[in-house]
Amino acid sequence: MTQVQQKKIGRFTIDYEVGAGGLGKVFKGVDSNTGKEVAIKILHEQYQMNRRFLGIFHRELLTVSGLKHKHIVQYIEANYEPPNCYIVTEFVDGWPLNRLIKHYKKIPPMVALSIAIDMLQGIDYLHLHDTIHSDLSSPNVLISKKGKVLLTDFGLACNNEVENYRNYMVGTPGFYSPEHITEASMRPASDIYCVGLLLFEMLTGEKAVVASKKQDEVLKSMKNIDFKKITSDDRRIQSGLRSICKKALRFRTTFRYKHAEKMIFDIYKLLKKYDIRYSRHAIH
């Protein structure tokens, strides 16, 4: 984490930078009114007067301000007036999923499945509210020290009913769905594909699809995912894990899980065989 000179933005005191993305930097801060820790996403300085990026930032603001779910970071407030465009959400005391994978290499199957269930519950809520996340990647999944899983970064979120990003290659390399890089429209099944990618990576320590921006290379990788890399000493677990990942990672949406709740149901069935009924217990 990079220390920065302490300063204020609005009523919030900035402590230090915790991450950065294409649209802005995220800082840990404190709400001077409540004393609570917060996360402050500040639009990159070079975009503060750029109408295109202001539009993207405003869309994220509108999306996150309307969401309220236990597996989605809680919105607090925002400012949309340059040169101080920022969004404030709850601060998650924990780690992004990519850091956990980097540290542990592989995450135990029951823990990985439990994390996936919590992600899918957040995704199901989004889809029921006609919203597609569109950028589900391991840095955008946060795990608190208490085992709570939260989705964050809605900069690319779009409406179910609009053909957003068609013919555009958006998202994060290594976490594209086929719809991210082809002429197809983004849809709920696109988010489910990305959950499949995350589950595969948690189980194997490797990406299922190459992290490239070259369309031909990515498409070839998508059609040649090696599910044999998903292994377990227990053959029943191994078979169940492969089956779930295969269905989530079908290239054609026709054969993929169409709804998050269907994937949740299959994961629950596997967890219950091992008497795990509360996902938070497995994660924590």
pLDDT bin (cut points 50, 70, 90) of residue 2 is very low
Token duo for residue 112: 């990985």
The CA-atom distances, in angstroms, between 132 and each of 44, 68, 122, 230, 273 are: 24, 15, 11, 28, 32
* Rounded (5°) CA angle 252-255-257: 105
Taking alpha carbons only, the member of 6, 10, 15, 4 closest to residue 37 is: 15
Q: Are strands 131-132 and 158-159 parallel, antiparallel or unpaired?
A: antiparallel
d(CA 254, CA 250): 8
Q: Are strands 37-43 and 2-9 parallel, antiparallel or unpaired?
A: unpaired
pLDDT at 155: 82
Taking alpha carbons only, the member of 253, 282, 254 closest to residue 267 is: 282
The CA-atom distances, in angstroms, between 104 and each of 33, 123, 207, 215 are: 38, 25, 15, 30
What is the CA 68 to chain-centroid distance, rounded?
A: 16
Residues catalogued as catalytic = 135
Tens digit of each residue's pLDDT (9 = 90 or more) over 218-267: 999 999 999 999 999 999 999 999 999 999 999 999 999 989 999 999 99
d(CA 260, CA 2): 37
pTM, to two decimals: 0.89
pLDDT at 162: 54
pLDDT bin (cut points 50, 70, 90) of residue 3 is very low
Question: Mean pLDDT throughout 21-26?
Answer: 82
Taking alpha carbons only, the member of 197, 202, 200 closest to residue 108 is: 202
